[in-house]
Amino acid sequence: MYLQHFGLSQLPFNLTPDTQFFCDLPTHREALNVLLIALQSGEGFIKITGPVGTGKTLLCRKLLNELPAPFVTAYIPNPHLTAAALHQAIAEELGIKYSRNAGQSRTLAQINDYLIEAAGLGKKVVLIIDEAQAMPLETLETLRLLTNLETEKQKLLQIVLFGQPELDEVLQKKSIRQLRQRITFSYALQALSKTQVREYLLHRLRIAGNTHTDLLTPLAVSALHFYTLGIPRLINILAHKALLVAYGKGHGKIGWRHARLAALDTDDTRLLYRQWLVGKILPGLLLLGCGLFIYFSPRLPL
């Protein structure tokens, strides 16, 4: 592998959501601040959305690591569950002993008892759900009913939803409008700018042991931003492949040609690039064509 060649102690662009590599860029820091402030307020649902690969799961793990006492967390990574299975998953996360043969109402009663006891001890229970767009509508409604558990002074359970933009489409459905009205804080993660892509790349290389800032040429950074449209997961994929290409050729720096070869070898990047062409370039060409046609077409008599 290329670690020794580039003076690295570990792989800098793994796809696993390792919080050691969390980069404190504006979009992720703002999202984390929204989460921390909203949870301190103790009210309702909180929603974080973003396209595939923008770092939602990493942000979720960062939140789990940073929430201080008296917060207690339950994490559901795969929410494609029935209502009964959701109750069981929550009970398991909170360490509640329950019988799998017990009815749904019994499991809910045990969760309620746990939440009341936790509130009495000054604890704040937070349920964090990743990939929330995959949750069935019936289960989403069950989730809303869980937030009905409260004392006269506070909610017994706060819920954070992480999801793709499709989550917003799901929440527009009339059948769960009551849940939508309870979302008190939300934030949409954005793709990285070219400057942020450079910061992101250098940050990960630095964490991985690289002590030089010139491993990536400015043109390489521009190419990586262009081919990935600033999506962190794709940046990781292309940067890793670009390092492999440079290593294979015996080069000591990453240039735009290495980034281009990495992009040509990545299906998602080619698809994203075609979508970008269709969305940005073709409308402009059509508009230009219409303008030229009107300009050069014969004038109609008045």
Q: State pTM to two decimals.
A: 0.84
279, amino acid identity: G
E-assigned strands of 113-152? 124-129
Amino acid at 110: Q
Q: Which residue has the higher pLDDT, 113 or 285?
A: 113
CA torsion angle 271 274 278 281 (round to 10): 150
Digit-coded pLDDT (tens) for 57-103:
999 999 999 898 899 999 999 889 999 999 999 999 999 988 777 77
**pLDDT at 275 (0 to 100):** 52
* Dist CA 93 CA 76 (whole Å): 8
Q: What is the mean pLDDT of residues 33-47?
A: 89
**Rounded mean pLDDT, 34-50:** 90
Let me know: does 233 contact 33? Beta carbons within 8 Å.
Answer: no
Distance of alpha carbon 86 from alpha carbon 102, whole angstroms: 14
Q: What pLDDT, on the 0 to 100 scale, is given for residue 213?
A: 75
The model's confidence at residue 300, banded by pLDDT at 50, 70 and 90, is very low
- Residue 1: the pLDDT is 77
User: What's the pLDDT score for residue 296?
Assistant: 55
CA atoms of 112 and 122, how far apart (whole Å): 15
Give the C-alpha separation, 235 to 269, whole Å.
Answer: 10
Domains and their CATH numbers in the chain:
26-188 (3.40.50.300), 192-287 (no CATH)
- Nearest Cα neighbor of 190 from 33, 20, 53 is 53
pLDDT of residue 301: 47
Q: What is the CA radius of gyration of the chain?
A: 24
**Res 174 pLDDT > 60:** yes
Q: Identify the residue whose tokens are 């929330």.
A: 132
CB within 8 A of 89, min separation 6: which ones? Answer: 76, 81
- ∠ CA 168-35-47, rounded to 5°: 10
